[in-house]
Structure 1
Amino acid sequence: MTSSPQLSPRNPAPRLDEDGTSVPHADQRTMYPSSERSPLLGADSDPEPNTSGAKPATVLGQMTAMRVTALAFSLWLLIFLQASNTSGITMMQGSIAEDLDAYEGTMWFTSGYLITMSSLAPLVGKLATIFSPRSLVPFVGLLIGAGCCISASATSFASFVLGRVVMGFGGAGVLTLAMILILDLTDKSTRGFILGFVNACFSIGVSLGGVVYGALIPVVGWRIMFWAQAPLAIVSTTGVFLSLPRPIPSSPNTFGEPLSVWQKLRRIDYLGSVLLIFTIVSFLYGLTSGASAIWLWSSLCCLGLFVTVESWVASDPVVPLPVLKSRSVLLSCVSQLGLMGARWTVLYYMPIFVLAVRGEPRASAGAILIPTNVGFGLGGIVVGGLHIRRAGSFWLPSVVSIASFVAFMWLLSVIAHPYIGLVPLILSVAAGGFATGAALNYTLAHVLHHSHRGTDYITISLLGTFRGFGGAFGTTIGGSIFARILQSRLIDGFRLLDGDLDGKPLSPTRKILISRLMGAPELVHGGGLTPEDSGVAVDAYASASRGVWQAAAALGLIVLFMQAGTGWNGPKRDEDNDQEDGYITDEEEARALILEHEGAGEA
C-alpha cells in the first residue's frame, strides 16, 4: 500500500477544478518545471523550504572529499579516453589501413565516429532533462566499450567503421553530460574555472593520445589499443554513476508524484530527434561523398521539416522554441562549429605534417600536440579562474580571443614548410591553443548570458553539440581539401619526375604508390622510397597542410563576424511570465532544493 504524498508548503493538497480534476498549485509548477532548469541531482525525498535566508551552497560543496575526488577522477578518465582515442586514430590509421586493405577509406576512421557523436549529442542533452544525467552515464560506458570491442575484432573496413560508429553513440554523451553536470553542480563564481579544467582534461587526452598511441602501436599493435579501452570505459562511467547523488523527481504528474519511465519515454520528441539526426548526418556525409549535392539538399529538406515539427507539432520539442528562435544562440552555435572545425585541422593534420614532412617517428609526431593542448588548457583555466567569475556579457573578450586564433592560424599556414624549424611551429600552435581555450570559455559564458530562462541546459548541450560537430566538420571539410591538394601535387610531382608532361595516365605502379602515400604518411620516410620520390611526397604533404590551414584561417574570419553578431545584451527576462511558464525564476532556489535533500546532504 503506497502512502500519500507528504503535505508541506511546497507540496500542498491538490487543488480541484470544476470537473474535479486535480490541478497542481503554482508552487508545484515552479518547484517541478518541465524544463532543463529542474534540479537534476539529489535524493528521492521531498524537500523542505530553505528558511534560513542564507545563500545555498553548491551540490559539489556538500559532497565529501572522497566522493568529489572519485567523481573528478572518473570524469577525467572518461574525457581522457574520448580525447586520446580521437587523436590516437591519426597514429593508428596507417597500420589499420594496411591490415584491412583500406588505404582509400582512412578518412572514415575518424569521420564515422565524429559524425555519429555530433548527430546524437542534441538528443543526449534532451534526454538528460527528461531523465537525469546520472541515469544516462552507464549507457555511455556500455556503448563505448561495445564499439571498442567491435573495432578491435574487425576483419574488414565495414566492420571497423561500424565499431567506430557505435563508439560515437557513447561518445555523444561524454562532453554533453560533463557540461550539464558542471552547470548543475557549481555556481557562477567557480563554473568558468571548472569548465576550463574540463577543457584541460580534453587537451591532455588529445596530447598524450598521439604520443602514447604512437609509442605503443609498434609494440602491441592497434587491436590491443582498442581492447584496452573497453574496460576503462566501463570503469570510468561506473565511477561517475556511483559518485553522483541520486536524482530527484524532476517531472511530476498532477499529484506531484514522479513520472514512470514509460511516461518519460512518451515525452521524447521522436520525430524531431530523427529529423535532427538525419539533418546532421546527411550534411556531413554529403561533405565526404561523391554525391555531395544530393546529400546536402537532403540535409536542407530535413532541416526545414525539423523546424516545422519543432514549431507546430512537437509538444515537448528537442530544441525549445525560445532557443530555436534566438539569433544570438544560433550565431553562437554556428561560430562554435567553425571555430572547432578550424581547431581540428591543427589537431588532426599537425601530427601528419610532422610525420610526413619532418620525418619524425610516430611518438614524436604525436608529441607536437602537447604544446597546442597545453596552451588550450591554460587558456580555459586562466580566463575561467581570473576573469569569468560572474554571469553576464563577454562579447569583447570572445571577439578578441577568436581574432587572436585567426591570426595564429594564418601564421601557421605561412611557416608550414620543410625548411622551417620546429620552434616557430611549436610557438604558433601553442599560442593558437591558448586563444582557442580562452575563446571556448568566453563564448560559453556569453551564450549563457543570451539564453532564455529555463533553457540553460539545452542551450549548453546544443553548444556542445556544435563543438563536437566542429570536429566532424573540420576533419571532413579539411580532409576533402587535404586529399585533393595532396593527390594533385603527388600526380603533378611524379609526372614531372618521370618527364611526362603530356598528361598521359600514370603507370599502375605510380597509382599504387599514390594510393599508399595518401593513406599512410609514415611511408614518406619509412616506406623504402627513393630520395626523389620522397622529395615529391614531402612537398605534396607540405602543400596540402598549408592549404588546409589557409582554409581554416579564412573560416576563422567568418567565425569572427558571426560571434560579433551575437550582440552585447541578453534577452529581457520577465519574472512573472517565467513563473507562469513553469520555469524556476531563481537558479539558487533550484540548487537549494537539491541541497535540502537528505541524500545530497549525506554526500
Structure 2
Amino acid sequence: MSSLAPLMGRLSQVFSARMCLFACTILICIGSVVTSTSSTFAMFMVGRVITGSGAAGVLVVAAILVIQMASPKQRGVYLGLVNSGMTVGVSLGAVIAGALEPIIGWKPIFGMQAPLAILAGIGLLLGIPANYGTNNEYTTHSLREKLARIDYSGCVLLIATIVLFLLGLSGPRVLPTPLVLSFVCLPLFVLNETRIAYDPVIPMTVLRSRGTLLTCFATVGFMMARWCVLFYAPVYSLAVRGWPPAAAGSILIPTNAGFASGGILAGYFHIRRHGSFYAHSLISMALFPITLLILAFISTARTPSWVYITAVFFNGLLTGAALNYVLVHSLHLTLPDVHPIVLSLVATFRGFAGSFGSAIGGGLFARVLHKSLVTGFEDAGLGDNRDLIRQLLGSPRDVYRLEGEKKAIAISSYEDALKALFLAGMGLSILVVAIQAGTGWKEPSKSSHERIAEDEVEGEESLVAGS
C-alpha cells in the first residue's frame, strides 16, 4: 500500500480516476482469493501483496474524486466521509473478524471479501460518469501512448526506496542493509525525476513545495501517535481489564466513531470554502496531545470503562478533524494541477505511520514492559520467571490466566508500559504541531509555478540536444 500509493495520483491522471478505482477493486478481489486459498505462508504473503496493491489506490483515488467533483461547500463533508469509511471499516473488520474466526476459520473471512470487492468495483464503475476526467492532456492519447508516458524508472526507484525503508524498520529489530539501500535509491529517484523523466511521477512543483514536504512529515508523526491508540487500546482491554479478544477489539469502535464524527463535523460546519485553514489545523493538532496525556494516566485497572471510552472517543474526534483540516490546507498551498500528486504523497506518508508506529512504538512498549516485569518479580522475590516474562511479552491475554501476586505484577507492568507509550506519543504529537506550523498559510504564486515549469522544459530540451 505505502509503496504504490504515491503512484496513484499520476496514474489517475493518465488513465482516469474512474478506471484506476475499478482496477484497484479487481486487485483486492484477486488478492483476497489468493489469500483465502493459500496453503503455504509464502502464498499467503503473495495474496496480501496483491490485496495491498489494490488497496493503495482506494483511499487516494476516492479523495481525488472528491476534490475534483465536489463543490467547495461540500468538499470537507465528502473528505470526512471518505476518511470515515476507511476507519469504520478498520474498526468493524477487527470486531467482525475477531468474532467469526473461532467459528468459521480465517480462510472464509478473507474469501468473503472477494465478492464484496467485485460488487464495489461494479458499483463505482457504473456510478462514476464515463466522461469524467476526459478533459486533461491525456484524453486524446491512445493506450499505447499513455503507457509510453509512464515514468517506469521513477516508479521502480520509488517503490524500491519505500519497500526497503519499511523492511528495515518493520521487523523485531532494525535491519541496516535495507535501510542503506533505501538511502541509495532515494537520491537516484530524485535525480531521475528532475533530470531524466519526461513525465515524472512527482513533478518538480511538488518536490520543491515546502508546504507539501512539511505536511507529509507532520502527517506521519501525527498518525504514529494516533496508531499508539489503535494498536494498544485493545492491549489495555486484554491485559489490564481482562476482556475477551472479541470485546477487546470493540474498544476501537468509540475511537473510530470519534474519528468519523470529527472529519464530518469539521467538513459540514466549517470547511465550506477554498482557502487557508492554517490556524484550525494547528489548533486541532495542539489539542490532540492532551488526550494522549489523559490516556497515559487513566490506562489503569481502576479507571471506569466509560471514562476510558470517552477519552479514546475524543482522541479519534480530534484526529478526524485535524486530518481534514490539514488535507484541505495542503491543497491551498499547492496549485490545482498537482492536487492528485499531493493527495497521493500525503496518503503515502499517512500509510507509513502504521509501520513506524508498530516498529518504534512497539519497541518502546516491549522494553518498558520487560523491564517492569523483571523488576516486579525480583522485588517480590518470586525467583526466575524468564519463561513467564517471555510469554507475557507475546500474549497480553495470558495476564488473566495468572493468579495472586504474579497477576498483580503483570497488570502493573502493562500499566507502566502503556503510560510510557502514550507519554512518548504525546511528545511526538507536540513536535508535529511545530512541523505543521512551518507549512505556512500563503498560496503559491503562479509565477513561481511557471518558473519551475520553464526549468523542467529547459532540462528536457537539454536532454534532447545531448541525445
CA distance in 1, matches of 2:90, 2:14: 32
Distance apart, 1:576 and its partner CA: 11
Q: Which has the larger Rg?
A: 1
User: Superposition pairs for residues 582-593 of structure 1, below 5 Å?
Assistant: none
Partner of 1:373: 256
* 1:335-484 map, 5 Å: 335-484=218-367
Change (3 A) 1:417 1:305: same
The DSSP-based 3-state class of the residue aligned with 2:272 is coil
Deviation at 1:227, TM superposition (A): 1.6
Name the residue aligned to 1:166. Answer: 50
Q: Is 1:545 aligned with 2:429?
A: no
**Alignment match, 1:264:** 146
What is the match of residue 443 of structure 2?
A: 570
RMSD: 2.4
Give the superposition deviation at 1:190.
0.6
The alpha-carbon distance between structure 1 residues 334 and 141, as it changes in their structure 2 partners (threshold 3 A), is same
Q: Distance in 1 between matches of 2:406 and 2:140?
A: 69
Correspondence for 2:162: 280
* Range with greater deviation from structure 2 (569-578 or 320-329): 569-578
Q: Cα–Cα, structure 1 residues 135 and 413, in superposed 2: closer, same or farther, change >3 Å?
A: same
Distance in 1, matches of 2:298 and 2:196, equals: 53
Change (3 A) 1:328 1:405: same
Q: Shift in Å at residue 326 of structure 1? A: 0.5
* 2:19 paired residue number: 135
Deviations 1:419-445 (A, max 9, x none): 222222222111111111110111111
Kindly report which structure 2 residues correspond to 1:517-556, keeping only aligned pairs within 5 A, or say none.
517-525=392-400, 528-556=401-429
The residue aligned with 2:97 is 213
- What's 1:177 paired with? 61
Distance across 2 between alignment mates of 1:305 and 1:572: 29
Whether the aligned pair in 2 keeps the contact of 1:119 and 1:469 (CA below 8 Å) is no
The answer to whether the 8 Å contact 1:482/1:545 transfers is yes
Mapping of residues 15-26 of structure 1, within 5 Å: none
* Pairwise CA distance, 1:532: 4.0
Q: Aligned partners of 2:52, 2:449: CA distance in 1, in Å?
A: 42
TM-superposed deviation, 1:362: 2.3
**CA distance in structure 2 between the aligned counterparts of 1:189 and 1:159, rounded to whole angstroms:** 46
1:522–1:161: structure 2 CA closer, same or farther, 3 Å change rule? farther
- Distance (Å, rounded) in 1 between the aligned partners of 2:278 and 2:377: 50
Report if aligned partners of 2:170, 2:356 keep a CA contact under 8 Å in 1: no
**1:371–1:426 CA contact under 8 A, matched in 2:** yes
Bigger relative contact order, structure 1 or 2 (CA pairs below 8 A, ≥6 apart): 1
Matches within 5 A, 1:209-358: 209-247=93-131, 249-250=134-135, 258-289=140-171, 290-358=173-241
Q: Which runs of 5+ in 2 are unaligned?
A: 455-467
For residues 225 and 413 of structure 1, the distance between their equivalents in structure 2, rounded to whole angstroms, comes to: 34
Instruction: Report the CA distance shift for 1:429/1:134 in structure 2 as closer, same or farther (over 3 A).
Output: same
In structure 1, list runs of 5 or more residues that go unmatched.
1-116, 501-505, 582-603
Asked whether the 8 Å contact 1:489–1:540 carries over to 2, the reply is yes
Q: CA deviation at 1:162?
A: 3.4
Question: Any conservation in 1 of the 2:37–2:107 contact (CA below 8 Å)?
Answer: yes
Residue identity opposite 1:547 in structure 2:
A
1:363 to 1:516, Cα distance in 2 relative to 1, 3 A: same
Q: Deviations over 1:91-114 (max 9, x none)?
A: xxxxxxxxxxxxxxxxxxxxxxxx
The Cα offsets for residues 217-240 of structure 1, whole Å up to 9 and x where unpaired, read as: 232222221121122112112211
Q: Deviations over 1:451-510 (max 9, x none)?
A: 12421121122212222222222223222223333344444445556644xxxxx67xx4
**From 20, 36, 56, the counterpart of 1:152:** 36
Normalised TM-score (structure 1) = 0.70
1:577-599 deviation per Cα after TM superposition (whole angstroms, max 9, x unaligned): 59x98xxxxxxxxxxxxxxxxxx
Q: Secondary structure at the match of 1:522?
A: helix
Q: Secondary structure at the match of 1:318?
A: coil
TM-aligned CA distance change 1:545 to 1:251, over 3 Å = same
Does the 8 Å contact 1:210/1:365 carry over to 2?
Answer: no
Cα distance in 2 for residues equivalent to 1:489 and 1:295: 32
CA distance, structure 2, for counterparts of residue 449 and residue 492 of structure 1: 52
Task: Tell me how far 1:305 sits from its aligned partner.
Answer: 1.6
CA distance, structure 1, for counterparts of residue 346 and residue 214 of structure 2: 10
Q: How many residues align?
A: 451
User: How far 1:314 moved relative to its partner?
Assistant: 1.1
Spell out, residue by residue over 1:511-570, the C-alpha distance to the aligned partner (whole angstroms, 9 max, x if none): 3x4444444332332xx4444443343233333322222221111011100100011211
Instruction: Find the aligned partners of 1:425 and 1:242 in 2 and give their Cα distance.
Output: 43
